[in-house]
A and B are shown apart, each in its own frame.
Chain A
Amino acid sequence: MPVDVDELVVRVADICTYKWDMLRNRPFAFCLSAFAGGAFVVFGAMLALSVSAGVGTNLAPGIANLVMGLVFAFSLVIILFSGMTLVTADMAVGIIGVFHRRISWFWFLVGIVAGYAGNFAGSMFFMWVVSKGGSYMALPWLVQSHAIAVKKTGMTPGQIFALGIICTWTLQTAALLYVKANEDIAKIAMAAYGPLAFVAGMTEHCIANIGFLALPLFQQDLFLAAGGAAASAAPVILHWGFGQYGWGHNQLYTVLGNFIGGIFFVGIVFQLVSNPKRVMALYRDKKNFMQKL
């Protein structure tokens, strides 16, 4: 049986204590876990690109989204089972830790910044390695990765922001339900639901997008040389900046949206739904205040 929501928030607070204890006392281990977590996310991005290239919209407009979501699903499973760090999960975990007085606002922000930096490095490095892999230099994959990036960076700030909120709303709900579940199969199902929902739902995740957008930027010369631009109706040149079709443009508004989705619509909601008197009763008999994922 999964635990109830009162026990869940206590479990999440214990996980928060473990995470932030690692940040304070073993910062190198924390950064390494964030690096690995960032790479784990873009394992899914690589697979999603691999299976979706060439899937025709004349078949059904949503089929490519479905196959991308199905192969992306295990990214969160491997992150949570391995206990690595994902900044968007830490947003929801950290705010519950703040409610439970496990961490201060200052340390909450330090954890988010450090988690993002590590995830950024892992995601970017993994996609740089992928960009050197011959399989992804073939035209169908160059065209598909470019098309994904054009779609993501071509949206308006408001559109990206809204999809960023939806992303962590679904993803962190799944992450907390992973913590709520007790059996391995239930945990796998809950963790897989998150990435499936956010990728098939065409939403925006900051760490996934670091990789999704970096790969076509790393390979843009190849794309243009291979005649990929000719395959598009209106060839678009991507860039790293904050203007339209820029990596920074998508990343900025995705991060802002992810913050609200994970903290406001998941962490705070679960915390406010829990019964404070019962939570305090649980604390009275509590001996261990730290739990590893």
Chain B
Amino acid sequence: MDVSYTPFDPSIWIIFAAFCFLTWLIVRVYRGKYPEYPGKSGEDKK
């Protein structure tokens, strides 16, 4: 099996990028579905 030991393994970076996008999307959809969530938070939103 041909294995490359490089820091730029394309399949890993594609999976990681997909994960980042999916995480962002889940948060966005969740906030869209529950716009008032979680209510009074007592913190700023910087």
Residues of chain B within 8 A of A98, CB atoms compared: 27
Instruction: Please judge, given known A-B contacts A99-B27, A279-B37, whether A289 and B43 are in contact too, CB under 8 Å.
Output: yes
B36 → chain A closest CB, angstroms: 7
A249 → chain B closest CB, angstroms: 6
Q: Which residue of B lies closest to A282 (CB)?
A: B38
Residues of chain A within 8 A of B5, CB atoms compared: 156-157, 242-244, 246, 249
Interface size class of B (residues with CB under 8 A): 20 to 34
A1 → chain B closest CB, angstroms: 23
Of the candidates B6, B15, B30, B40, the one whose C-beta lies within 8 Å of that of A99 is B30
Q: Are A252 and B46 in contact (CB-based, < 8 A)?
A: no
Interface membership of chain B positions 1-34, coded 1 if the CB is closer than 8 angstroms to chain A and 0 otherwise: 0011111010110011001001110110010001
Of the candidates A13, A105, A249, A253, the one whose C-beta lies within 8 Å of that of B38 is A13
Residues of chain A within 8 A of B19, CB atoms compared: 259-260, 263-264
Q: Which residue of B lies closest to A280 (CB)?
A: B39
Number of A-B contacts (CB under 8 A): 92
- Within the assembled complex, what's the spacing in Å between the Cα atoms of A284 and B3? 55
Interface membership of chain A positions 148-159, coded 1 if the CB is closer than 8 angstroms to chain B and 0 otherwise: 000000001110
Q: Are B38 and A279 in contact (CB-based, < 8 A)?
A: yes
Chain A facing B: main interface SS: helix
Of the candidates B3, B22, B24, B45, the one whose C-beta lies within 8 Å of that of A101 is B45
Residues of chain A within 8 A of B46, CB atoms compared: 103-104, 106-107
Chain A contacts with B in 239-293, Cβ cutoff 8 A: 242-244, 246, 248-249, 252-253, 256, 259-260, 263-264, 268, 271-272, 276, 279-280, 283-284, 286, 289
Of the candidates B9, B40, B42, the one whose C-beta lies within 8 Å of that of A157 is B9
Q: Which residue of A lies closest to B20 (CB)?
A: A259
Q: Are A102 and B12 in contact (CB-based, < 8 A)?
A: no
Q: Which residue of A lies closest to B36 (CB)?
A: A280
Q: Are A283 and B7 in contact (CB-based, < 8 A)?
A: no
B residues neighboring A (CB under 8 Å): 3-7, 9, 11-12, 15-16, 19, 22-24, 26-27, 30, 34, 36-43, 45-46
16 other contacts beyond A246-B5, A289-B43, with CB at 8 A cut-off? Answer: A13-B38, A17-B42, A98-B27, A99-B30, A99-B38, A100-B41, A104-B45, A156-B5, A157-B5, A158-B9, A242-B7, A243-B6, A253-B12, A260-B15, A283-B39, A284-B40
